[in-house]
Structures are given as structure tokens and as C-alpha cells.
Structure 1
């Protein structure tokens, strides 16, 4: 099925930015249960209230229902259950293969998205809850890099705040956030979700004050080895915290939405100041390497022709 058939036109609203403001890609990443998809709906409602309807792309083939209407939906192109049956795969293998199949149509998808860039300020991408499938797969890297090459792109990592109140789970989430940041190498925002249940202030304190985190760690009845390991990892992440954009949000109440978009704009500035020049250098280096390779091939060809012409032909 053509990816063009997955595009559903909507008249719910148009962007107040129009062609005068640059469109921004927001890739939403979060573990299952973090409230990532619900937060997507909150962001969608927030933008509609401000007459800035976003363009939404669903990249999760296994989700049964989403609380928003996606403009482009992977489920319209790839049947997840059929892929599992046809290739004899389990759930994770089915999601990965579905994402790979969708990526083969990415050029068609990008053609559709590019045509809408003048009508929408924000393009939202919802990813599978099995985050390793997107962040560490070839198809996930292709999608992220393709989006980043077209317009400012920001990765938002959604954290389940109540489940992060333990130092061990907090450190696990921070390690995952760090790995995603360095894997994608894109402007990054860490969104602590469900702040209506538990405030994210404890996380801010732990990031800003190493001693407070150590005190909380000592209060936990963990094995000595685990405490030592978490202590070492917290030291490693100190520099990561210093450059991290953090915001507390609630998908249920809408708390923190204004601050969330302030962080997004900061990330867009970083994209222009740091990522885009680096990307341009990489493109130029690749082009230079290709020119050198072609020149070397031409030189080798001329040498081969010279040797051939210089040989005496035996009759």
C-alpha cells in the first residue's frame, strides 16, 4: 500500500506560523507505561487551543488505539499481526520488522510531510513503547537522521515520575536518557510526566546536588554492591545533568505545557547553533570523499588503459 494513502486531510486548524515560521520535528520516546501517548494527546490539545494544529505521525504498529487522529499512521501501511504470522515472529520482532517495512516507504512519507511544512508549526512523531526497537534499530536511526536533515528536530524522552522516585530506578532512567542522547546526537528534552501524582522536584534536587542523591541512596535497603554501582554511575552522569533540559509535565492536567515548549525552542536554537553546522560538515566530508574515490577510480582506469595500449599484440 502506498504511503500516500495513509495521509488523512483534516480541517481542524492551521498553523499560526504558516510559512513565516520554521516547522519543528518532535520525536516522542518513552518506556511503556510512561504516559508518552497520553502526553502526545495533551500536546495535541494544547496546540489546537492555540490554533496551531500539529501534524501527527504514529510510528507504533502494535498500539491498538490512540487518543488522537494521526495524519500518517504506520498501521495503515503495515499490518503488525500479519507480519508476525507471515515471518513467524514474536511481538518485538513483529514491531521491528513492521518498522523496517515502513522505512522502505520513508521517501514517500517525507514527500507528504514536506508538502505540509508550510501549514504546520509542529510535527509530532509517536514511537513504540519498546524504546530499544526505535532507538537502537537501523530503521529508527534512518528515520531520525532523515527528519534531522530536513528541519529542526528535537528528541523528547518521557519519564514516569512516580516510578522514578527510587534512586535505583531514577539512575536506570538517567542512564537510558544518556544513551538515547548520545545515540541520536540530537537536541534533547527530558520530560518528567505525571507530576500531578508526584512532583519531579526530587529529581531536580538529585541532579543538582550530588550529596542529596547519595543520602537518598543510603536510605535504600539495597545490596552494598548495588549502592556502589549507582554511586559510580551518578558521578559519571554529573556532566550529563549540567547540559540537560528538564521539564515537569502532566498529561492529565496539562501542567507544564508552557515550560515544555520553552524547552523545545531552546532545543531548536541548539539545532541551528550546533547540530546543523556539524551535519553540513559531515555532508561536505562525504562529498569530498566521494570525489576523491571517483578521482582515484579514474586515475586507475587511465593507468590500465595506458598499460593495455603499450602492450605488443602477438599475432
Structure 2
């Protein structure tokens, strides 16, 4: 059976840890097992404990205190340390060969836009540990339903998609925070957006940047892969199940499962 890993990415505060917990909770209800791999050296476990925790190797607080670094410098130091000690990660992951691993990543997107830390970790997981990986990129729905912010978020999602070179699923989180009926209706156009139409409709853009805005809209449209799945982590919502089905498809989870032997007639009679 091949290994399957899911990376939870996106800006700080977007709900990545909540998403990881929701996936774990849903998988438990349907009889599947999964584990959270915490790659954020400043994170604390919330609903579910971390099975693998980078803080067992190095923590942000320790680096800040011992090296007298600020938060961003300390974070980069932590990941440089991890890159020099990937054998620790290999050993930790080695005990979980046939189960879903959900990698909860830091919210500092410069780790894959400016510094190739996460891309290098992804290559290691794929090439050395034989993982089928999928990247999920979260953006807040209340943030994204503003046209100018939509383009900002779309560009960051595209950047992650290109740099990580993984099957990629964009997710709009916190849709339960959208209470206004007008905004709920407006949200639908952002799930499968028409960037050119959104740019044309928005009159709030500064006319001085009109040409730039149209060029960005054209780029997003030409790329043709910026679509979003809604995420509502309320237990009665089926959005988590839908997202998991997409992840299963792109990681080929079903194909990697060992086929079950059919019961013969004698076994069936015994069961009855």
C-alpha cells in the first residue's frame, strides 16, 4: 500500500488546524485512520494530539530564547535545522506506513514562496519516502468575497500550486461566518470564478492600476485552475466529506487499498 499525505497550507489564521481536526474527526466516523504531523514549531495541539510533532526536534520558543531571534528568523532557523535532520522525520514517519498523514504547515507562506523549504520537504517525501501527496490551500471566505482580495488570494494559491508541483485543492474556509444573504449569494461566484468578469465588475479599483488589474485577471483566467471548495467544519455539514473525496481521488487512495477477499459460500452460511 502506498503512503498518502495531505499538506494543509495557507496564511496564518485561515483555519488550517481546524481543517486538520475536521478531517481526522470525519475519518474516524467512517472507520478510517489518520494522523496529524505538526510542522509548525510554534503550534499547540487543539482537538486532536499530534502524532508527529516538529517541536520534539526543535521549537520556535527555544530558538527565540537561545538565539535571540525574532519569530520569522526563528521559524526559518527551525526549518533549516529540520532540513539538516531529515533522518529524524524519516524515523518518525517510519512507524506509519499505511495510514493517512495530514501535515499541518505554518502560516508563513514565505516558506514556499521565497525560501524553498517546503518544496524540498515535498521532494523528500515523494522521492525518498514514496508518498502520494496532495496540497490543500485554504483562504478565508469572508476575506475572498472582495474582488481585489480575491485576486490577491488567487495569486498566492497559484504560487503555491506552481512551486510545490503537487495535485492542488483550493478551499474556502470559515463559510459559516458569512451570515448576510447577499454575501452568501455572492460567495457562489467565487467557487468557480470568472476572473475577467470579476475584474470588469469591480469599479473600486484605482483607475491608475486598471491595466495591471486586467493583466492579473487575464493571468488567473489563462491559468484556468483557480477554483475553490467550500469548507464548513460544523458537524452537520457534508463539506468535509466532499473535500476528502477530492483528496482521495488525486492521491489515488482507493487504488492503493489491498482488495478484500470475497467470502466463500461456507463463510456466508456461518455468518448467517
Q: TM above 0.5, one fold? A: yes
Kindly state the Cα deviation for residue 127 of structure 1 after the two structures are TM-superposed. 0.6
Contact 2:170 2:227 in 1 (8 A): yes
Equivalent of 1:238, from 211, 217, 221? 221
Paired residue for 1:202?
A: 189
SS of structure 2 residue aligned to 1:152:
strand
Kindly state the Cα deviation for residue 251 of structure 1 after the two structures are TM-superposed. 2.7
Equivalent of 2:201, from 199, 208, 216? 216
Larger helix share, 1 or 2: 1
Paired residue for 1:86?
A: 66
How has the CA–CA distance of structure 1 residues 24 and 245 changed in structure 2, closer, same or farther, with 3 Å as cutoff? Answer: farther
Superposition TM-score, scaled by structure 1 size: 0.71
Give unmatched runs, 5+ long, in structure 1: 1-18, 273-315
Contact 2:113 2:159 in 1 (8 A): no
Once residues 136 and 145 of structure 1 are traced to their aligned partners in structure 2, the CA distance between those partners, rounded to angstroms, is 17
User: 1:21-50 CA distances to partner (integer Å, 9 max, x unpaired)?
Assistant: x33110110111211111111111111111
* RCO higher in structure (CA 8 A, sep ≥6): 2
User: 1:107-163 CA distances to partner (integer Å, 9 max, x unpaired)?
Assistant: 232233233122x1x110001111212554243222111122212101110010111
Paired residue for 2:20?
A: 40
Equivalent of 1:133, from 87, 111, 115? 111
Equivalent of 2:34, from 48, 54, 58? 54
Paired residue for 2:243?
A: 260
Would you say how many aligned residue pairs link Structure 1 and Structure 2? 244
How has the CA–CA distance of structure 1 residues 183 and 209 changed in structure 2, closer, same or farther, with 3 Å as cutoff? Answer: closer
Structure showing greater radius of gyration is 1
How has the CA–CA distance of structure 1 residues 209 and 99 changed in structure 2, closer, same or farther, with 3 Å as cutoff? Answer: closer
Contact 1:128 1:134 in 2 (8 A): no
Paired residue for 1:311?
A: none
Paired residue for 2:142?
A: 162
Say whether residues 1:188 and 2:143 are aligned partners: no
Once residues 66 and 127 of structure 1 are traced to their aligned partners in structure 2, the CA distance between those partners, rounded to angstroms, is 15
User: 1:46-97 CA distances to partner (integer Å, 9 max, x unpaired)?
Assistant: 1111121212110111124433211111112213122112222111111111
Correspondence list, 1:62-141, <5 A: 62-118=42-98, 120=99, 122-141=100-119
RMSD of aligned residue pairs (Cα, Å): 2.3
Kindly state the Cα deviation for residue 209 of structure 1 after the two structures are TM-superposed. 6.4
